[in-house]
Structure 1
């Protein structure tokens, strides 16, 4: 995918990544630290993380196409390099979201009920999964911020005037 309605696809797809990665990260942390949130989110948690994961290579590929169609620039190169590092974070979000969902659905809903599989209510398991989820979520969100910041600098560094060029009322 290179163009959407005449615009570079990267310019549009980047918004999907900027929304879904932090949303998946927030949902993952909530579900990992709060079992009731995991039950409420249900299968939506891994589905959200999967859609976020799939959006990353689509956006990256569209960005690589766009890179070949703009003037060579150190800021664009930096943005591209940073963008290539998001996929492992998105994969980590998806894997942990799948683990949290799977463990949450196999655990008993109420204490005293029977349940099979992993004991999601076991404190050491919840702590490990919670810490891992928090670490991956923070890493993913920070990476999205760094990539977005570098992309904005690459796109806008010399494309506007710091002083207003129109009339005082903005028209």
Structure 2
């Protein structure tokens, strides 16, 4: 899918990434910091973040298709290079979201005889995972802003200075 109703698919798909990746990152930080939110939102956020991991390569593939149809431009090239980093941000958020969900799952309704892998009662591990989750979430949001800014500059460079 490279076009949708005559428009480049990248232009449409990018809006999903710009909304869903920061949303998933914010939910990651929220579920890491707030146990009540973790109980309710860790599972849905794990699903959302995995969806984002699927959407990112589709969006970047559509972006590469579009890049090859435009004239050579260093701003577009820079945006494409930065866009390739979105998958790492999405995978980081998804991995941490799954870990937090799994850990929450292990901590609820389990008998003592059941083996747990992520030490749901360990305060040291909870603190470590919280710090990592907040850092990963912040890095993901920063990455999306950086990629979006470069895309906006590539699309709208000197637009206001042009005369009709």
Distance in 2, Cα, partners of 1:152 & 1:45: 28
Aligned to 1:168: none
Q: Provide the secondary structure at the position in 2 that maps to 1:121.
A: coil
Q: Is the 8 A contact 2:42 2:100 kept in 1?
A: no
Larger helix fraction of residues: 2
Q: Is the 8 A contact 1:108 1:114 kept in 2?
A: no
Shift of 1:160: 3.6
Q: Provide the secondary structure at the position in 1 that maps to 2:14.
A: helix
Shift of 1:159: 3.1
Q: Is the 8 A contact 2:31 2:42 kept in 1?
A: no
Aligned to 2:102: 102
Q: For this pair of structures, how many residues does the alignment match? A: 161
CA offset digits 1:40-89 (Å, max 9, x no partner): 11420110101111111111000000001111100000000100111111
- Please give the TM-score of this superposition, normalised by the length of structure 2: 0.91
Q: Is the 8 A contact 2:42 2:97 kept in 1?
A: no
Aligned to 2:86: 86
- Please give the TM-score of this superposition, normalised by the length of structure 1: 0.87
CA offset digits 1:106-160 (Å, max 9, x no partner): 1037xxx855413323211111111111111111100100000000000001334
Q: Is the 8 A contact 1:25 1:141 kept in 2?
A: yes
Distance in 1, Cα, partners of 2:138 & 2:19: 14
Task: Report the more deviating stretch, 120-129 or 69-78.
Answer: 120-129
Distance in 2, Cα, partners of 1:162 & 1:27: 41
Q: Provide the secondary structure at the position in 2 that maps to 1:43.
A: helix
Shift of 1:38: 1.2
Distance in 2, Cα, partners of 1:24 & 1:121: 25
**Where do 5+ consecutive residues of structure 2 fail to align?**
none
- Mark the CA change 1:6 to 1:107 in structure 2 (over 3 Å): closer, same or farther: same
